[in-house]
Amino acid sequence: MSLLEVSHEFLEHTLPKIFTEHGYTRIGALPDGKDFMIDTARTNSMVSRAMRSDKVKNSAVRCISWMTPANLSFEHTDLFLARCSEKKLVDLWGKRFKNFPAGWDMLADRGFAGTERSYPNMNRQRTPNFLKKRKQFAEGEVMIDMVLCKLRYTCEVGFARVTSMKSLKDRISFWFFNDLDSINHWGHAMVNLMKPLI
């Protein structure tokens, strides 16, 4: 219930009006990464270093999720130790998108810039602007970035729904380590069982 096929027709039918009002008529996915804090494994220093997350300043496992603009979770990675970068996870998982419609873009964070090559259909990644050695953004860039951040709200709420499961809240205990991927699947399925945001 958390790994689903999405078609061109489905994306077109479910694209929220707010996206088209801002000129984003072919947005098919909103990828985002999440680090879940976990207990630190102290028996092996290599493993404990691989668990370290700069995002949460703690040991963690990392997941990348792809949600539709209407907040349907349709693809996500397994959980990896947090030292694995988000771009590497997209590169690893991108081949699963061979049926994702060509010509449909994704709204992503800056960390996903340049990951188009990871997808079989080279789906464009629309990210906020970069400073590129300038001191500040131009006014037009700020306006565009504000709209992008506003539209990405649904994927942020999606992860909030994933973490509503008790076993994924706060710091994940050793008790759950053997079942982490199953819990992750169910957490993403819960997103799809709740009422759509828009």
pLDDT digits (tens, 9 = 90+) for 109-139: 989 999 999 999 999 999 888 877 778 877 8
Give how far the C-alpha of residue 87 lies from the chain's centroid of Cα atoms, to the nearest Å.
Answer: 11
Distance CA 2, CA 26 (A): 22
More confident residue, 133 or 71: 71
CB environment 67-95: b (16+ within 10 A), e (fewer) = bbbbbbbbbbbebbbbeeebbebbeebbe
Residue 100 predicted with pLDDT over 90 = yes
More confident residue, 144 or 187: 187
Find where tokens 């690893």 sit: 92
| Pure H helices in 114-167 | 139-151, 153-162
Residue 188 predicted with pLDDT over 80 = yes
What would the two tokens of residue 58 be?
Answer: 């703690």
User: Do residues 59 and 82 make contact, with C-beta atoms less than 8 angstroms apart?
Assistant: yes
Give domain limits for the chain. Answer: 8-177
Average pLDDT, the chain: 89
pLDDT at 198: 65
Task: Answer yes or no: pTM beyond 0.85.
Answer: yes
Distance CA 48, CA 62 (A): 14
Cα–Cα nearest to 116, from 6, 29, 177, 179: 29
